[in-house]
Structure 1
């Protein structure tokens, strides 16, 4: 990571400040969503299926940002000992679990919108359109289970590194320990990160492609319609398409960023590390803001306040 040098250049300090500023924005954004939906839950005793998914997504991101702040603050203060410190066990498990929940919640949100909004008349799609609302709670519990299992697999690898380090540190075999850590990163952690992230990402991408295709086909049909509501509907579809494309691009950017970060192909420089971290959470911050702006319930509450 960092090589023991605690001196920071001005550009790196700017990136670090921007990164923690993004974390603060994400905490505020997702905290706002949780407050609004929590108030609705308290008043109505339940939430709509889409707001259940949104609550899960926002809660995971809200808690994740606190863990991200703690983990990166620890990296900043103790760059050399962080990979082999017991604190790493807790912070990494926290990040692995909540990041997985966030990815699966995004995937479920994409599937839900795809099934509910798509205009395809395939029997499977029609069956899901009527049934998916009943399955949302169970799908969320399933995502928790998968995320917990994934985090446990990461924990096993991290604990193995810490255990071997604690034994071999007594024998002063630091070079051997570093080689072992690199081998685990290459042959265990990286494939695990790719598999655990690619599955929900693929579900999200497929859902968005189907939904965007469906709306585009419906918009073309409307061009040949003589309905008096044509202009209003056309504008609504155009806005929906722009929003979905934005979601697609932001999620793709985030997925690409975490894959590059997991591959360890970036130079081990402070500027690269903090710049890449800022890029990852900038995508999430913009996506969270779009979720707020495109949810009438959240906007109505804000105006009422």
Structure 2
């Protein structure tokens, strides 16, 4: 039986999960419909679509492991099964992080305006820059995937009667877990740094653009300023949510050293799931087409309900 506090955690996490599935599903469905209608998919839409489906997978993997924590069972009774789960989680988390970083770089190159020849060169090769960024991330993925990634050991709660039998395994793997956590964080730190640099360069570009038009008050909120503002908000909230998720991962690692870590793990899940769930809505409201499509949903529902009422009468 779950305690009252555990029930609260489960309720909040379930709400975050459903919210994340809805948001990412909306992004994926909207872009797929546009792809089928226009017979083409631009780079930013490809990144958003890939990011949406990967985050849906990440949410499903996370919620599946939550059930294992609640039922005092591992994802699999074998180390091979646990390794498979961990590998899929690493892959989904890695792609989610780096695709979001590519999105930040894309917004920076698309919106920012600098006279530097190097920036102009990058701006004209934006597709190649994004593709190269994904290639740069591959070594970090390859270094992580072959590892057993013993996060699975402390991501799963063992019943009290089995904790004594696992003490030897815990003592042997603690130092290796720390090394693997550091390896995982290095790749995350690089992607976070790239996004942070993109954010500050966008801020600098906006400041320079504002200085150029400040003499004309009516043009102080022109299209370029609005584009800068939307791009900066998207990148900023990504940085905040990304930092929150990495803090949740650190909490998970700390929980591994605690004898009764179930509540700590559930709290880390509740905090960590904010990133794949919340960032989808940051993307939606930062994209004018998606925002309009989302706001049209109540109108379509009302119209459909009215048709049913008229047909019934």
TM range (shorter): 0.7 to 0.9
Does residue 73 in structure 1 map to residue 93 in structure 2? Answer: no
Q: Quote how far apart the aligned CAs of 1:146 are.
A: 4.6
Structure 1 gap ranges (5+): 1-6, 162-171
Does residue 116 in structure 1 map to residue 106 in structure 2? Answer: no
Question: Residue 100 of structure 2 corresponds to which residue in structure 1?
Answer: 106
Does residue 230 in structure 1 map to residue 223 in structure 2? Answer: no
1:33-72 equivalent positions in 2, closer than 5 A: 33-72=27-66
Aligned residues: 285
Aligned 8 A contact 1:101 1:147 in 2: no
SS in 1 for 2:2: coil
Aligned 8 A contact 2:69 2:262 in 1: no
- Residue deviations 1:17-76, cap 9 Å, x none? 211221121111111111111111222222111111111211110111111111111222
- Residue deviations 1:114-133, cap 9 Å, x none? 11111222211111111113
Question: Residue 282 of structure 2 corresponds to which residue in structure 1?
Answer: 290
Does residue 152 in structure 1 map to residue 145 in structure 2? Answer: yes
Using the alignment, how far apart are the partners of 1:132 and 1:235 within structure 2?
Answer: 21
- Residue deviations 1:181-209, cap 9 Å, x none? 223212x3222221222221221122112
With the length of structure 1 as denominator, give the TM-score of the two structures. Answer: 0.80
1:177-256 equivalent positions in 2, closer than 5 A: 177-186=169-178, 188-223=179-214, 225-226=215-216, 228-232=218-222, 236=226, 239-240=229-230, 241-256=232-247
Using the alignment, how far apart are the partners of 1:242 and 1:227 within structure 2?
Answer: 23
Using the alignment, how far apart are the partners of 2:217 and 2:104 within structure 1?
Answer: 30
Using the alignment, how far apart are the partners of 1:143 and 1:201 within structure 2?
Answer: 14
Q: Summarize the Cα distance change of 1:62–1:143 in structure 2 as closer, same or farther, 3 Å threshold.
A: farther
Q: Summarize the Cα distance change of 1:238–1:146 in structure 2 as closer, same or farther, 3 Å threshold.
A: closer
Using the alignment, how far apart are the partners of 1:263 and 1:47 within structure 2?
Answer: 43
Using the alignment, how far apart are the partners of 1:80 and 1:59 within structure 2?
Answer: 25
Aligned 8 A contact 1:97 1:150 in 2: no
Supply the RMSD in Å over aligned alpha carbons: 3.2
- Residue deviations 1:112-160, cap 9 Å, x none? 11111112222111111111135545655x37845752452334x559x
Aligned 8 A contact 1:222 1:230 in 2: yes
Structure 2 gap ranges (5+): 154-163, 301-313
